[in-house]
Amino acid sequence: MDMKKLVMIAAILICTVDIVYSQDAYNNWSKLQSSFVRHIRYPIDLEKASLPSFFTLKVQYNKKAKQYDLEFSDSAHPLMIKEILRIKDKLDFDVVYKDLNIENHDIPIMIPVEIKIARVSYVFSDPKSKVSQDLYNFKGQQALGDFWFYSPLVLMVINN
């Protein structure tokens, strides 16, 4: 082999390693996102009413119970709360802390959750809607204190 071919092969190998490494940077988020999409079933009543969901999920590790406690912003529909609680054990929240390089699991993580609907209700589109006002309210109080924001979990529902 001549020198030109060796240099070309070395360049391709270096580029391949860089591509694989950069994909690994998103690996944790993609694990959580894919398990979310795989396990969630959008409540049929919300789909029929053309109501998307947009809320914030506060994730806090409970050392005593050795589990993750979830709190939902006031903009979460009760049917969505029920659905997220149904699948919570199938979502690996450890990857969120790994992704953010947070060793102290005492810090809550805020994860926006958005379920998009192909055809949205006009009522939901109003910027003065209760949903947009309550996105970062928990039990009537605005979220304050130390917490980390994480990339949103998103799902697109095609409705008629």
Which residues are paired to 116 by β-bridges? 156
- Structurally, the chain folds into a number of domains equal to 1
CA distance linking residue 30 with residue 26, whole number of Å? 6
Helix intervals (H) in the chain: 3-25, 27-39, 44-48, 78-87, 94-99, 130-133
Tell me the pLDDT band of 90, cut-offs 50, 70 and 90.
very high
Whether 136 is in a domain gets the answer: yes
pTM for the model: 0.70
For 102-122, the pLDDT digits (tens) are 777 788 899 999 888 777 666
CA distance linking residue 88 with residue 90, whole number of Å? 5
Of the candidate ranges 27-41, 54-68, 82-96, 135-149, the one whose mean pLDDT is the lowest: 135-149
Whether 13 is in a domain gets the answer: no
Q: Are strands 153-157 and 67-72 parallel, antiparallel or unpaired?
A: unpaired
For 35-86, the pLDDT digits (tens) are 888 999 988 888 887 778 889 999 988 888 788 899 999 989 999 999 999 9
Whether 69 is in a domain gets the answer: yes
Q: 148: buried, middle or exposed (CB in 10 Å: 19+, 13-18, 0-12)?
A: middle
Q: Which domain holds residue 56?
A: 30-157
Whether 82 is in a domain gets the answer: yes
